[in-house]
Amino acid sequence: MLAVTDEAREGGPRIVGYLCRWLVAGEYHILNIAVHPEFRCHGVGTALMAGAVAEGRARKVSLMILEVRRSNLEARRLYRKFGFEERRLRRNYYGPGEDALVMELVTE
């Protein structure tokens, strides 16, 4: 897990964003990325994705892959900023009427 903390908080740091990933058979799967609502639009998601892409390249993976809600335009924009491309649609992945887009970044 990659995480970003808020060090300025009274009582000690707290996690304000995280990214979970798997490295499987030369592929890097981003499973989940989340940013606390108070910290959105402050570069936390960008920092997490930059760290993940850098880690994937350092590990010389051939492909990075993730699923994103079709309706989540902000997330899709963030992923495209790092070179991810929409490849496939998974109908009802998040439940009835909630499709997912599979996005991939070829790193070789």
Known catalytic residues?
A: 67, 79
Neighbours of 66 (CB within 10 A): 23
Q: Is 68 exposed, middle or buried (0-12, 13-18, 19+ CB in 10 A)?
A: buried
